[in-house]
Every structure is written in structure tokens, then in C-alpha cells.
Amino acid sequence: MVSKVSDTFITVGTINKFKHFWTRHYLEGISLLEEIGCLCESEVLNDKGLKILMQKN
């Protein structure tokens, strides 16, 4: 029971930490919602809109 409560706090904290990312995703569709807490030490990487494949002139 205590473990589940702790996992819930970590999950909510992780969702709040990456609010800008998770607000664009349908969380109810994630079957392992409680596993999001495992991402608490991660970071979200964003692209800069850089075109990787460019044409040669």
C-alpha cells in the first residue's frame, strides 16, 4: 500500500515536471501510467526545427 502511494506521488511529480510535454498527450491511453514515474530523472529533448536533409546546390 505504501509503495503504491509513493509511486503515485512520483508519477504525479513527473507529470508536473514535464507538464509542457504531457499536456499534449492523451494520458488515459497509456496502459502503464504508473510507469511514468520511472522518467522522473529524465529530460525532454526538443528539436530546433533544423532540416537535417538539405539539398546540395
Residue 53 lies in a domain: no
Give a three-class secondary structure readout of the chain.
CHHHHHHHHHHHHHHHHCHHHHCCCCHHHCCCHHHHHHHCCCCCCCCCCCCCCCCCC
Confidence (pLDDT) at 32: 72
The domain in which residue 10 lies consists of 2-30
Residue 10 lies in a domain: yes
Report how many domains make up the chain.
Answer: 1
Residue 49 lies in a domain: no
Angle at 37 between CA 24 and CA 23, to 5 degrees: 10
Mean pLDDT by 10 residues, the chain (57 residues): 79 86 76 77 78 67
Confidence (pLDDT) at 19: 86
Residue labelled with grid coordinates 509542457: 20
Confidence (pLDDT) at 35: 80
